[in-house]
Structure 1
Amino acid sequence: MILITGATGHLGAAVLHTLLQKTAATEVAALVRDEAKAAPLQTRGVSIRVGSYGDPASLDRALLGIDTVLLISGGGEADGLQQHQNVIDAAKRAGVRRLAYTSRALHNPTTLANELMVRHFQTEDYLRASGLPHVIFRNILYMDTLPLFTGPHVVETGISLPAGAGRVAYALRREMGEAMANVLLAAPGDNRTYHFTGGTAYSFADVAAALTAAAGRPVTYSPVPVADFAAGMQARGVPAPAIERTIGFLTDIKNGQEAHVSPDLEAALGRPPATLAQAIRELYAL
């Protein structure tokens, strides 16, 4: 049986969508904090396990009878690394045969501006040291996040970000979820790392060009100084931690952390992943 953590989140839902197309629901379990939110999954026959990363006792109960766990990384909590370690420890106690983890496809973990991302690589190290057979999915930045960076009215306002000419090999979250499900259902291939990226790395100038083509009107990209960008966010009332995190993401993009292109996603999907031009209309409702 395969257990998906974070099952009611966007990525968990994408993984489950493919699993339920390709295997019996009785072979799938979902770890959730709120059982009510998982009612549609339960109706389809998925085994619902209630628990949280911060509650080891609940994890022990949830992992009973589980062969494979997909640990979907948590959010930005201060104890996020400890939460990941709790799941790994519980999997080891339960005799789980394989644990998969959703990490990040970043060029150099030692030079990251966004320090929150470091915990992914610390989790990887802990997982390897645990001795559990494992799979690591190093995922690129979701293409779905583009509207969060550019703003929803980008066609009118253009793009102004402190990302320089940095490039990202974006991929759609649902395609990453589909690929992860395919790997989990295939032969074990334990202790392997997959780099799930798109087939091309794009700059924000490329994003502006794709928006121009889709909208039929010019959309420009203007690199701006970090200080000006931060001041603009502050003026809009964005909390300081959110400003710092956003700038961290954009600085890493500028420094080439997200530019690596790998064939792994295409291989796991059995087709080329969506291009920027294909996704823009959907993402911006154009």
Structure 2
Amino acid sequence: MIVITGGTGRFGAQVVEQLLRRVPAEQVGVSVREPGKAAGLAERGVRVRRGDFADPPSLAEAFEGATQVLVVSVDQLGEVAVAGHVAAVEAARDAGVKRVLYTSHQAAAEDSLFAAAPDHAATERHLAATGTPFTALRNGFYAGTVPMLLGPALETGELVAPADGPVSWTERADLAEAAAVILADEGRFDGPTPPLTAPVALDLEAVAEILTEVTGRAIRRVVVADDEWVASLTGHGVPAEQAELLLGMFHAARRGEFAATAPDLEDLLGRPATSLRSVLEEHYERGV
């Protein structure tokens, strides 16, 4: 039994779908906070059980009989995030799984300037301390983040943001498929994986060029001071704390924390990784 936490979430649901292409449904389980949302999976033969990182006893039932558990990292930061991850890891260990997998990040490091990365590093340290075999999926930065960084670029013709650095933007669906491949082929990676990324790292200057080609509208990159950018965000209603967290992403990019690339994702997929150009083409074809 392979159990996926957050099996109805944006990442977990895609992993489940990819896994069902590779193993029988009766060998797949999901741990979800609201089992009703997974009724469709239950109808297809997937085991659905309630599991909440904030309620460890629920995880014991959700993970019962599992040989592998994929702990999908939460959309939170700091102590709350790490505590949830630790609870899931310990529950998986106590359930006697053969391997725990965790969705980490390519920038995972205690001294990272990217807010989520120290949390991933702390979770990886806990995984290593449990004594249970584990795989930390060092996923690349989601390419779906790029449209959110563009702001009103299509209207103004300017992609305005602080100084940045190259990022190996990687499609979420590719990473979900890779996770399913690894789950179906147990033991392919032990400990942290190499960076699971697209093969090319691009800065926002390059993104502006791609956006120009994709949309047919001239977009130029404009670099602004950090404080000016933060002030612009807060002036549009973004809480100051959140604006500073976002700024940390640019600081990390400048330091090269997202610049690493490796062939391992494409090796897992058996095909080229989805390019950022393709992601942006799909985004604007949908009229988003």
Asked if structure 2 preserves the Cα contact closer than 8 Å seen for 1:98 and 1:190, the reply is no
Give, as a single letter, the amino acid of the residue that structure 2 aligns with 1:185.
A
Task: Please state if 1:26 is matched with 2:26.
Answer: yes
Which whole-Å deviations, capped at 9, do the CAs of 1:187-239 have from their partners, x for residues lacking one? 42352432211110001011110110011121111111110000000110111
In structure 2, how many angstroms separate the alpha carbons of the residues matched to 1:259 and 1:229?
23
Corresponding residue SS for 1:217: coil
Indicate whether 1:105 and 2:106 are aligned: yes
Within 2, Cα distance between the matches of 1:183 and 1:89? 21
Number of the residue aligned with 1:210: 210
- Equivalent residue number for residue 201 of structure 1: 201
In structure 2, the CA distance between the partners of 1:284 and 1:255, relative to structure 1 (3 Å rule), is farther
Specify the alignment match of 1:72 in structure 2.
Answer: 72
Instruction: Give matches, 1:131-150, under 5 Å.
Output: 131-150=131-150
Distance 1:212 1:190, change over 3 A: closer
Q: Which runs of 5+ in 1 are unaligned?
A: none
CA deviations on 1:228-281 (whole Å, 9 max, x unpaired) are 000000110111222121111121112211000011101110111012222211
Quote how far apart the aligned CAs of 1:45 are.
1.4
CA distance in 1, matches of 2:64, 2:279: 40
Structure 2: how far apart are the matches of 1:163 and 1:274? 26
Q: Tell me the residue number matched to 2:95.
A: 94
Tell me, yes or no, if the aligned pair for 1:147 and 1:284 is still in contact at 8 Å: no
Unmatched 5+ residue regions in structure 2? none
In structure 2, relative to structure 1, the CA distance for the partners of 1:48 and 1:85 (3 Å cut) is same
> TM-score, structure 2 length as denominator?
0.94
- Could you tell me which residue of structure 1 aligns to residue 2 of structure 2? 2
Distance in 2, Cα, partners of 1:242 & 1:162: 15
Which residue of 2 is the match for residue 11 of structure 1?
11
Paired with 1:103 and 1:85, the residues of 2 have a C-alpha distance of 13
* Separation in structure 2 between the aligned mates of residue 98 and residue 200 of structure 1, nearest angstrom: 31
Percentage of identical aligned residues: 34
Q: Is 1:155 the equivalent of 2:154?
A: yes
CA contact (8 A) 1:33 1:50 kept: yes
- Contact 1:32 1:52 survives alignment (8 Å): yes
Runs of 4+ in 1 over 6 A off after TM superposition: none
Contact kept? 1:18, 1:178, Cα under 8 Å: yes
* Distance (Å, rounded) in 1 between the aligned partners of 2:210 and 2:201: 13
Q: Distance in 1 between matches of 2:115 and 2:216?
A: 39
User: 1:36 corresponds to which letter in structure 2?
Assistant: G
Select between 190-199 and 140-149 the one with higher mean Cα deviation.
Answer: 190-199
State the AA in 2 paired with 1:139: N
Which stretch of structure 1 is more off in the superposition, 276-285 or 214-223? Answer: 276-285
- Alignment TM-score, normalising by the size of structure 1: 0.95
**Mean alpha-carbon deviation: is it higher for 222-231 or for 32-41?**
32-41
Q: Find the aligned partners of 1:142 and 1:204 in 2 and give their Cα distance.
A: 15
Paired with 1:216 and 1:249, the residues of 2 have a C-alpha distance of: 28
Counterpart amino acid of residue 232 in structure 1: S
What secondary structure sits across from 1:174 in the alignment? helix
- Asked whether the 8 Å contact 2:110–2:121 carries over to 1, the reply is no
The residue aligned with 1:270 is 270
CA distance in 1, matches of 2:73, 2:45: 25
Q: Which residue in the other structure is 1:85 paired with? A: 86
Aligned to 1:47: 47
SS in 2 for 1:168: coil
Identify the structure with bigger relative contact order (alpha carbons < 8 Å, sequence gap 6+): 1
Q: Residue in 1 aligned with 2:36?
A: 36
